[in-house]
Amino acid sequence: MINTPNHKPLVLTMGDPAGIGPEITVGAWKALRETGPVFAWIGDPACLPSGTSYEEVITLTEAARVFQKSLPVLPLSLQAPVTPGKPDILNAGLVVDSILRAVGLTRAEDAGAVVTNPISKAVLRRAGFPHPGHTEFLAELCEVPGQEVMMLASPMLRVVPVTVHVSLREALDTLTTDLIVKVARTTAHALKRVFGIATPRLAIAGLNPHAGEGGHMGREEIDIILPAIKQLRAEGLSLHGPMPPDTMFTDSARENYDVALCMYHDQALIPIKTLDMENGVNTTLGLPIVRTSPDHGTAFDIAGKNLAKPESLIAALRLASQLATHRAANPEPPEKRFT
């Protein structure tokens, strides 16, 4: 039997069963079965690729016992048959149940961390799911709504979008000094505590061309971003910025910081997915549990065609195990927590 370093198996959600989640789950299990980290998948085995060697289990102890031989499955039952590439709103409830179960097991400390397979936000929305994505839903489930911070990390770059799952227009309307300060504090704290970076260096992106060109191409840098930087520096954080967004992701620029705080979703996600889509991992900071996921989505266009690469999911499972281990070794006094 093999174990995660912190001796608790991870739990992996089903994601949209018509997406590539089932096949990358099997790919990740094949890659990790000898070495770990151990994980159990929470879903309906009917949607796994035919011929998959799996075993239904009831507990995570049992999951750890069978992991080398078979993919351990904590079973759920789908409402409708699955056709790869054709999501069915009837299965939305089960997609959510899988997330609920994973969070319950992790909060109860039976599992070491939650790893999520991709969901279709549009399908869940049509089914009445009120949250924009996992990030916000997990914060609700963990009773820390509004404290969540999305970070995407790869060996080449870490990025945090300050505004997340909103339209570009809404992102501009909701960007405030207070929001930047809050997100930067949570990010710096997580980099110290769970990533083991003693003095994290944060690069703060500008919003406008040339970071506003001294106010001639927009005033957000002067009115919103610089006041946040001043406040955070006064708290002792190490920051650069506002940096011109078009040059802050070059090879040489990236050497000067540990994370880039970006003002909107695509300012953060385009560089990391362009540089390192295969190794990118999405992780949620500000939660009382560890959560990671691959950086990509459901990829309905290739589902069931044996084209999906499991690398990002493998990286997500490995990072979840490392973060859970680091977190367990560095318990946090409640009064030190930035919320």
Ligand X SMILES: NCC(=O)COP(=O)(O)O
Ligand Y SMILES: NC(=O)C1=CN([C@@H]2O[C@H](COP(=O)(O)OP(=O)(O)OC[C@H]3O[C@@H](n4cnc5c(N)ncnc54)[C@H](O)[C@@H]3O)[C@@H](O)[C@H]2O)C=CC1
Contacting residues toward ligand X, per CB under 6 A:
133-135, 269, 282, 293
Count residues contacting ligand Y (CB under 6 A)? 20
The phi and psi torsions of 134 (rounded to 5 degrees) equal -55, -45
Residue 245 interacts with which of ligand X, ligand Y, none, CB < 5 to 8 Å by class: none
122 binds, among ligand Y, ligand X, none (CB under 5 to 8 A by kind): ligand Y
296 assigned ligand-binding residue? no
Q: Residue 328, interface with ligand Y (CB under 6 A)?
A: no
Determine how many CB atoms are found less than 10 A away from the CB of residue 49. 13
Q: Give the nearer residue to ligand X in terms of CB position, either 6 or 135.
A: 135
| 305 annotated to a ligand binding site | no
Q: In angstroms, how far is CA 166 from the centroid of its own chain?
A: 17
Partner interacting with residue 240 (select from ligand X, ligand Y, none; CB below 5-8 Å by kind): none
Q: Which amino acid type is present at position 276?
A: D
Least distance in angstroms from the C-beta of 41 to ligand X: 18
Q: What gap in Å lies between CA 208 and CA 173, rounded to an integer?
A: 14
Q: Tell me, residue by residue from 270 to 309, as one string, x for binding to ligand Y by CB under 6 A and - for no binding.
A: ------------x----------x--xxxx-xx----xxx
- Amino acid 157 reads L
134 is in an annotated binding site: yes
Which H or E element spans position 157?
strand 157-161
Neighbours of 89 (CB within 10 A): 16
298, interface contact from ligand Y, ligand X, none, CB < 5-8 Å by kind: ligand Y
Pick the closer one to ligand Y by CB: 100 or 122. 122
Contact of 312 with 277, CB cutoff 8 Å: yes
CB of 42 to ligand Y, least distance (A): 15
- What residue is closest to ligand Y based on CB? 297
154 binding ligand Y? (CB under 6 A): no
Taking the least distance from each CB to ligand X, the nearer of 46 and 168 is 168
Closest residue by Cα to residue 205 from 193, 192, 187: 187
- Cα 263 to Cα 177: distance, rounded to the nearest angstrom: 11
Question: Toward ligand Y, which CB reaches closer, 46 or 122?
Answer: 122
- For residue 42, which of 110, 88, 90 has the smallest C-alpha distance? 110
Instruction: Please enumerate in sequence order all residues whose Cβ is within 8 A of that of 336, keeping only pairs 6 or more positions apart, or say none.
Output: none
282 vs 325, beta carbon nearer ligand Y: 282
- Contact in structure between 212 and 178 (CB atoms under 8 Å): no
Cα distances (angstroms) measured from residue 323 to each of 94, 318, 334 = 28, 9, 19
Let me know: does 44 contact 76? Beta carbons within 8 Å: yes
Residue 168 binding result from ligand X, ligand Y, none, given CB thresholds of 5 to 8 Å by partner type:
none
- Positions at the binding site for a divalent metal cation: 165, 210, 265
Task: Return binding residues.
Answer: 134-135, 165, 210, 265, 273, 282, 291
Q: Which residues bind ligand Y (CB under 6 A)?
A: 20, 24, 118-122, 134, 282, 293, 296-299, 301-302, 307-309, 312
